[in-house]
Amino acid sequence: MGLFSKKTCSICGGDIGLFGNRKLEDGNMCKKCAAKLSPWFSDRRSSTVVEILEQLDYREANKEKVAAFHPTKTLGNDSVKLLVDEEAKTFTVTRARDLNEANPDILSLAQIKSVDFQIEESQDEEKLTNAEGKRVSYDPPRYQYGYDFKVRIYVEHPYFDDMYFDLNPMEIKTTDLPVAEKYRPDPKTNEEYRTYARMGQEVESILTGKPLPPEEKPPVVKPANKPASGPSVNPNADMAQTPVFVAAKPKTDEKWKCPSCGTLNSGKFCSECGEKKPEPTLKYKCDKCGWVPEDPSNPPRFCPNCGDAFGYGDIQK
């Protein structure tokens, strides 16, 4: 037989087109028959024709379970989700919108051996472009951190051992601001992070019957103390937040000149024409290298000239 000779599906008896063969241990299978197998099944190549036929019988019987499946709980995202029928004590993990068409595997909660929920962290170094146009590291290095919330459900099943998916549709960044590694931000201050962390606890609780722990309150973010020089960070804190702009409070006893009529006033409104006292405009200048933003009242988060963070010390007196 030649390499591209015509093959017949050992399951349905139909012809297998070019590049359409799905090898079995003792036969061949067409793409159409392969699509009927469980999406969690991965041992096709080592399965016999008889074993595949048995699985297809199971998959056909699964359609009745799908028809009787009425999810009362949905956890996950638009791409892939965990659906639970709390009354029937059954569940499935699927990407499908039409369950009847997709025929996802419906399992009993009693088939669950364990549930593993993990928060995986990644870090990407932020770099700057120097005078020669080369990308170089900050000193000290700065990183942006990302998080994925992964669930793996270990099950007792004849055709697969586990089902797995990400709760979040894409990686969650704790901040869009690069920070020094030793002053990394607390991810629990990020609302999305807390949402998916809580969702992971709900998944464990609903699938295993483990009590759902009390919801953790978000950390209170307080301005960090500014050292003698450098960005506003707290070296004694385990995780200090990134530099924050804080407007200086004007003195209440300072007199101001009304821009409309020129009257001197001490209150919030002009005593002559009623004009509201104008808000003070803060102007910033880098206290490290002297760089001044094009709009001094609206500085970037970091000085593009030296990399120093703008904060309290950069407000011009």
User: Helix, strand, or coil here: 223?
Assistant: coil
239: three-class secondary structure by DSSP: coil
Q: Which residues face 83 on adjacent strands?
A: 74, 92
Residue found under tokens 């029937």 = 88
Residue 233 has pLDDT above 50, yes or no: no
Higher pLDDT, 211 or 311: 211
Chain center to CA of 83: 20
88: Cα separation from own chain's centroid: 31
| SS3 of residue 129 by DSSP | strand
Least confident of 12-21, 222-231, 251-260: 222-231
Structure tokens belonging to residue 217: 């309150």
- Which percentage of the chain shows pLDDT scores above 90? 48
Q: Per-residue pLDDT tens for 106-130? A: 999 999 999 999 999 998 888 888 8
- Upstream peptide bond of 140 is cis (omega within 30 degrees of 0): yes
C-alpha distances out from residue 86 to 66, 72, 109, 199, 206, Å: 14, 6, 9, 17, 8
The residues, ordered by sequence, that sit 6+ positions from 159 with a Cβ below 8 Å of its Cβ are: 38, 40, 41, 43, 55, 58
56-69 mean pLDDT = 97
pLDDT digit string, tens, across residues 194-209:
999 999 999 999 999 9
Cβ atoms of 142 and 123 within 8 Å: the answer is no
* Residue 133: HSE in the Cβ half-sphere, 13 Å Cα cutoff: 0
Task: Quickly list H helices, the chain.
Answer: 31-34, 49-67, 99-102, 191-208
Residue 265 has a pLDDT of: 78
DSSP strand E in the chain: where? 7-8, 15-16, 22-23, 28-29, 73-76, 81-85, 90-94, 107-108, 112-129, 135-155, 162-166, 172-173, 179-180, 256-257, 264-265
pTM value is: 0.65
